[in-house]
Amino acid sequence: MYSVTFEYARHRLRAIPLIPVGLRAQQRWIEVWAYADSGAFYSLFDDKVAEVLGIQLEQGKRLLAVVGDGSFIPFYLHKVKMRLGEDEFEIEVGFSDKLGVGFNLLGMNLFDRYKVTVDNQAKRVTFERE
């Protein structure tokens, strides 16, 4: 069994489930921060992250995501290597130049890999898998 717990991080004076993840760029890992969001179907990252990774944004599969106000934003799916704690794996994530929420999102496609426990009182999120 694998388990990793992250303490919430502060964002705009509030503690939220914002956690560090690694993404593989050619021969090195880069660390980015993302919000654990059970309401997002896909993990979505800003287009600047795609640029750092050397990913050509529009070469991915184009999809639309519904955002909080009911409008749609385009994003492009790409397979990347991700690291959560010490766990490394390949996953399909989206990149968008219209994300606009102020942080990247870890969505249900990542949650499918783990049992995720969000403990808002203790201000931590735990990812577990067999």
CATH (domain of 85): 2.40.70.10
pLDDT tens-place string over residues 13-68: 999 999 999 999 888 999 999 999 998 999 999 999 999 999 999 999 999 998 87
Q: Residue 14 sits in which domain range?
A: 2-129
**pLDDT recorded at residue 68:** 76
Q: What is the percent of the chain where pLDDT is above 70?
A: 100
Binned at pLDDT 50, 70 and 90, residue 88 comes out as very high
Please give the model's pTM, rounded to 2 decimal places. Answer: 0.92
**pLDDT recorded at residue 20:** 97
**β-bridge mates for residue 79, sequence order:** 92
Binned at pLDDT 50, 70 and 90, residue 70 comes out as confident
For residue 32, give the H/E element and its range.
strand 28-36
Binned at pLDDT 50, 70 and 90, residue 91 comes out as very high
Number of alpha carbons in the 13 Å side-chain half-sphere of residue 106: 25
Structural domain count of the chain:
1
**pLDDT recorded at residue 120:** 96
> How would you classify the pairing of strands 18-25 and 28-36?
antiparallel
Q: What is the percent of the chain where pLDDT is above 90?
A: 84
Closest CA to 93 of 102, 28, 85, 84: 84
Compute CA distances 40 → 21, 23, 54, 80, 106, whole Å.
17, 19, 24, 18, 7
